[in-house]
Amino acid sequence: MAHCIVPAAEDILDKEFPVLDKGFVRLVDYLGGDERIVQAARVSYGKGTKSYREDRGLISYLLRNRHTSPFEQVVFTFHVKLPVFVARQWVRHRTARLNEISGRYSVMKDEFYVPAAGDLAAQSTDNRQGRGGEALSPEKAAEVLDILVSGQKRTYAEYERLLGSVAREIARINLPLSFYTEWYWQIDLHNLLHFLRLRLDAHAQKEIRLYAEVLYGIAKKVCPLALEAFEEHEKGAVVFSAKEFAALKALLAGAPAEACGLSGKDLGRFREKLATGRQA
């Protein structure tokens, strides 16, 4: 089978999808699609299936049973513009290749992320990593935004002053985490799905979730059957621990979940899974 052409992917090549206030994601290139996944799988499983319905079934079977290597045959190259603090979360996913703009060679633009007032909230009382659910009052939000913006303006002005005195690699070092950077990011579908599984989760920081949602939409254009299977078996699925599964069986039999030894936070997480359909 020669190079796969996916018309829906061709339609969005090089198109900017905006994220946050100044960021974007662009699909620069792609290699393969659903056809490439089933072709690669048939090398292992024989002649296999040929109809669209059977291709869907094969892809679903592969994802459901975690036969991941056929998904690695599909590769995406993205151009992403994002704040540095999002980039530092992003690079926790090491199974990709990237090339980032360098402040050693380039004069960096005066571009910083400024959150919307509605996205400002105090520290969560039950989550050490994130903000709480209630937004700040309009007065407090205006105060916080003034601090952020004035700090960004002052820091960039100092950066420009330093450019006249020292090398760019030194001048850049005080630029804050809200500063926008850009990179080319290349990743195969298997590892992209792992990224999406984590970064689409409600517990991920909102800013990186917004990037994940755009990546998800682009991947769905390239591999609609694979993303359909991902929605069914990963994105929309809930995993139960051994104790939780025992508690679920107890509930179905009419017994209380506590009868299986769940208590405290473990019981709370189990009930949240049942109530929301999401990983707690």
Check residue 1 and give its pLDDT.
Answer: 57
| Residue 136 included in any domain | yes
205 and 69 inside one domain: yes
158 and 127 inside one domain: yes
* Integer CA distances (angstroms), 142 to 114, 119, 133, in order: 12, 12, 18
218 and 248 inside one domain: no
Query: Per-block average pLDDT, block size 10, for the chain (280 residues)?
Result: 86 98 98 93 63 88 94 97 97 94 94 96 83 88 97 97 96 96 98 96 94 98 97 90 87 78 84 79
99 and 192 inside one domain: yes
| Count of domains forming the chain | 3
| Residue 270 included in any domain | yes
Boundary residue ending a domain (155, 174, 193) = 174
Strands 131-135 and 180-188: unpaired
Boundary residue ending a domain (174, 190, 218) = 174
Check residue 4 and give its pLDDT.
Answer: 84
| Residue 2 included in any domain | no
Question: Which run of H or E residues covers position 181?
Answer: strand 180-188
86 and 223 inside one domain: yes
| Residue 111 included in any domain | no
| Residue 112 included in any domain | no
Catalytic residue status for 199: yes
| Full residue range of the structural domain in which residue 268 is found | 242-276
Short-list 151, 172, 152, CA closest to 161:
172
Check residue 2 and give its pLDDT.
Answer: 67
196 and 92 inside one domain: yes
Short-list 251, 233, 254, 232, CA closest to 243:
251
pLDDT per residue as tens digits for the range 129-178: 788 878 899 999 999 999 999 999 999 999 999 999 999 999 999 999 99
166 and 231 inside one domain: no
230 and 148 inside one domain: no
From the list 26, 36, 56, 199, the catalytic residue is 199
| Residue 1 included in any domain | no
| Residue 191 included in any domain | yes
∠ CA 263-266-269 to the nearest 5 degrees? Answer: 125
82 and 133 inside one domain: no
pTM beyond cutoff 0.75: yes
49 and 76 inside one domain: yes
How far apart are the C-alpha atoms of 152 and 21, rounded to whole Å?
A: 15
| Residue 189 included in any domain | yes
CATH number of the structural domain spanning residue 84: 3.30.1360.170
80 and 36 inside one domain: yes
Check residue 97 and give its pLDDT.
Answer: 96
207 and 93 inside one domain: yes
